[in-house]
Amino acid sequence: MKFQFLKFQIPKSMVIEDYFDKFRGIIAFFEEKSLSEVHSRKAFFILCKQELGVKFQFFEIPNSKFESY
């Protein structure tokens, strides 16, 4: 069994409602594109960082795989 969890930080200057509106827009964009899971995950995190200034850390257990964007 594989567990996954995601940790992210929102910039202090960002209004939370604005953040979620932009975040939903990015999610809709990726749902529309239907990219492969691995490619879309990496691209999704990179786009969120560019658009929102949000830092993501993604963990997979038990593989001990760790990605930071």
> How many domains would you assign to the chain?
1
Is residue 61 in some structural domain? yes
Is residue 1 in some structural domain? no
Is residue 17 in some structural domain? no
pLDDT average, residue stretch 11-35: 73
- Tell me the CA distances in angstroms from 37 to 18, 31, 33, 40, 56, one per residue in order: 26, 11, 11, 5, 17
User: For the purposes of burial, counting CB atoms within 10 Å of the CB of 42, is it exposed (0-12), middle (13-18) or buried (19 or more)?
Assistant: middle
pLDDT of residue 41: 66
Q: Would you state the structure tokens that stand for residue 67, as one six-digit string?
A: 């990605």
40-52 pLDDT per residue, tens? 667 777 777 777 7
Range(s) of the domain holding residue 51: 22-68
24-35 pLDDT per residue, tens? 887 777 777 665
N-to-C CA span, the chain: 25
Is residue 37 in some structural domain? yes
pLDDT of residue 1: 45
Give the pTM: 0.41
pLDDT of residue 25: 80
Is residue 6 in some structural domain? no
Is residue 7 in some structural domain? no
